[in-house]
Amino acid sequence: MKKNSNLQELMGYAGGHRYLTYLSLLLSAVSAILALFPFVFLFRIIQEVLAVAPNYAQATHVVRNGWTAVGFAVLSIVIYVCALMSSHLSAFRIAGNIRKALMAHIAELPLGFIGEMGSGKIRRIVNDSSAATETYLAHQLPDMSAAITTPVCMIVMLFLFDWRFGLVSLLPVILGFAAMFKMAGPSMAEDMKRYQNALADMNNEAVEYVRGVPVVKTFGQTVHSFQRFKGTIDSYYDFVMSYCKKCRPSMLSYTVLVNSAFAFLIVLALILTGGGPVAQPVLLNFIFYVIFTPLIATAMTKVMFMSENGMIVADAMSRIHSILDAEPLPEPRGGRVPTDNDITLENVTFRYTGGITDALHDVTIRAGAGETVALVGPSGGGKTTVAGLISRFWDVTGGSIQIGGVNVKDIPKDTLMDTVAYVFQDSRLLKASILENVRLARPDASRQEVERVLHEAQCDDIIQKLPQGIDTVIGTKGVYLSGGEQQRIAIARVMLKNAPILILDEATAFADPENEALVQRAFEKLSKGKTVIMIAHRLTTIKNAGRIFVLREGHVEESGTHDTLVAGGGLYAKLWQDYQTSVSWKVGAAK
């Protein structure tokens, strides 16, 4: 099946506004044609002046021809403005529809896709890539129509007045583009790919460097302590300098040649005169072509950069498709509803997209209804992956996950969302009121219900200090909450949802001691009667869990109660000993 061009695909988002795009192309072309007419009347003015010289008073049509030239110039501008108005109306509608399509599709995608791609990257695609299509359709596309029309009409005019001068005027253009072919030939695509790779590597390492700035400042280090970052800067510099040097001869030759038409015209004029007196027709054509030919360089340069505009919109569409082509997880037909809240992971294997090894391998975990189960282990062991698979952020590669004896793949999405509540380690709040943030869990909840769960989530002190209480909008007029305070608001939201299964992923990781105590109290109320999966590095928070599973490198190393595992002397015992040492460690007082 033949793939649609980028323009055809963009027109698919235009609806009834697509005709405005086509109208803008037509109007832009007409404007370009009209913009050449002033030169025709300029030719007539020069012709008349030379014909009556030196009796210039006899040039009676100069004013009329001058005003006619001005009229065509003004008409060309007016039509071009109409072209831009048409293209902008269509471009805004297309960009808006692309954003709507992206957001509608993102809402259908699993949270695992959002996490893998990154919310920042997705936000840039939704905003910047759709904006790139708007720039292309609103400005570049009409200009491309004019850029194609202008040279065609100019070539006709070049040969209309005097074919000899017209042919000579085209020679520097042909030579200029021949010089540019070496730079813009087949090797350019590979050079651009290398450039983009070098830029991406430098940007990625820059992010890591910025994140490490506190460490750099603390220990008085320099950029040389980040060898990878410095290496990407050096690689980028080396490539850019070598590419510029390679392009310099071609670009210099092109610039000189396309702007040197007058020199070729002088040579031709000298040849035509044969060293004798200059004939009036030769002088007339020479003056006209000297005035007219500079437009050739401008028009041809626009044509040359048309390919760059196409590359920009092609890149934007490619990024947009990186989201639109992602498939939502398959929805079960009919679906089944769990009758209980127990959770079973049976021989689960999972590998991330593009991964070379399994993130989880043959993992079996069971949590009875109403039981609290903890997942602990070294970083990268697979704890968060297990939690995400239970919530069906992804589908397992092998094995099965069941809730109440029903495979999560057979549970309708809305039912699964009502069954499982997830508290992330860095819960985020929207720029909205406390009331609206909590109501996200259940939009039809009353104000009294929201106030009740805020009280149970230990949020009374937060509400009391806010100027409008629960109606205070977060993020405006200096109203901000700490990480622990945001976590308590997020817990209130989960309480309002009242799901029978609760997953806590390092939910106290960013809380200070005071907030952690309040968060733990909120958890006690939240967890009553629910099946709870807890992920924690602070082992005191999961000491009383019914069962603890220790994960390392994607598999279950050991499991049991806290006392059993400590007595076993395995990995958990070592983790517990290390944790106890870190908690008791204190900086010695100066003597």
Give residue-wise pLDDT tens across range 558-571: 998 888 988 888 88
Give residue-wise pLDDT tens across range 307-341: 666 777 877 888 888 888 888 888 887 778 888 88
Sign for the CA dihedral angle at 269, 273, 278, 283 comes to negative
The fraction of the chain above a pLDDT of 90, given in percent, is 10
How far apart CA 311 and CA 398 sit, in angstroms, is 41
Give residue-wise pLDDT tens across range 149-159: 877 777 777 77
How far apart CA 310 and CA 6 sit, in angstroms, is 9
Cis check: omega of the bond before 443, within 30 degrees of 0: no
Give residue-wise pLDDT tens across range 347-361: 999 988 877 888 899
pTM of this structure = 0.69
Q: Is 372 helix (H, G, I), strand (E, B) or coil?
A: strand
Residue 203, pLDDT score: 65
From residue 376, alpha-carbon distances to 489, 537, 584 in Å are: 25, 7, 20
Confidence band of 233 (pLDDT split at 50, 70, 90): confident
Residue 1, pLDDT score: 40
Over residues 114-130, mean pLDDT: 77
Confidence band of 136 (pLDDT split at 50, 70, 90): confident
Q: Which of 42-46, 89-93, 205-209, 570-574 is the least confident region?
A: 205-209
* pLDDT for residue 581 is more than 50: yes
* pLDDT for residue 74 is more than 90: yes
What DSSP element (H or E) covers 365? strand 360-367
Contact 323, 105 (CB under 8 A): yes
Residue 590, pLDDT score: 44
Phi–psi pair at 278, nearest 5 degrees: -85, 120
Report how far Cα 449 is from the mean position of its chain's Cα atoms.
39
How far apart CA 585 and CA 591 sit, in angstroms, is 18
Phi–psi pair at 21, nearest 5 degrees: -65, -45
Residue 584, pLDDT score: 63
Sign for the CA dihedral angle at 251, 253, 254, 259 comes to positive
How far apart CA 34 and CA 40 sit, in angstroms, is 10
Contact 295, 261 (CB under 8 A): no
Residue 591, pLDDT score: 41
What value does the mean pLDDT of the chain take? 80
Which of 5-9, 568-572, 582-586 has the highest mean predicted lDDT (pLDDT)?
Answer: 568-572
Residue 84, pLDDT score: 92
Q: Which of 345-349, 391-395, 438-442, 509-513 is the least confident region?
A: 509-513
Give residue-wise pLDDT tens across range 244-277: 887 788 778 877 877 777 787 778 777 777 766 6
Residue 305, pLDDT score: 66
* pLDDT for residue 185 is more than 60: no
